[in-house]
Amino acid sequence: MRKKIVAGNWKMNLDRNSALSLATEIKGMLADEYTGTAEVIIAPSFVFLGSLVQLLKGSTVSVAAQNCAAEKEGAFTGEVSADMLVSMGVTHVIIGHSERRSIFQETNSSLKEKVERAHEAGLKIIFCVGESLDNRESGNYIDVVRDQLSASLFSCKSVNPENTIIAYEPVWAIGTGKTASPDQVQEMHCEIRKMITQKYSHDLAEKFTILYGGSCNEKNASEIFGQADVDGGLIGGASLKSRSFVSIIKTYNR
Among positions 53-82, residues that touch ligand PEP (CB under 6 A) are none
Among positions 126-185, residues that touch ligand PEP (CB under 6 A) are 169, 174-175
Shortest spacing between CB 245 and ligand PEP, in angstroms: 10
CA distance 45 to 80: 12
Alpha-helical (H) ranges within 6-151 are 16-33, 49-56, 82-87, 98-103, 108-121, 133-138, 141-151
Which single residue brings its beta carbon nearest to ligand PEP? 236
Per CB under 6 A, which region of 79-87, 103-111, 194-202, 209-217 contacts ligand PEP? 209-217
Q: Are 126 and 234 in contact (CB under 8 A)?
A: yes
Binder of ligand PEP out of 171, 235, 246, 249 (CB under 6 A):
235
CA distance 90 to 88: 6
Q: Are 13 and 240 in contact (CB under 8 A)?
A: yes
Task: Quote the DSSP letter at residue 80.
Answer: -
What's the first-to-final CA gap in the chain, in angstroms? 16
Per CB under 6 A, 216 contacts ligand PEP:
yes
Per CB under 6 A, 234 contacts ligand PEP:
yes
Give me the phi and psi of 125, to 5 degrees please: -110, 150
97 is catalytic: yes
Per CB under 6 A, 230 contacts ligand PEP:
no
Q: Which of 106, 169, 189, 218 is catalytic?
A: 169
Of residues 96 and 161, the one with the C-beta less far from ligand PEP: 96
Applying CB under 6 A, the residues found at the interface with ligand PEP are: 9, 169, 174-175, 213-216, 234-238
Active site residues: 97, 169
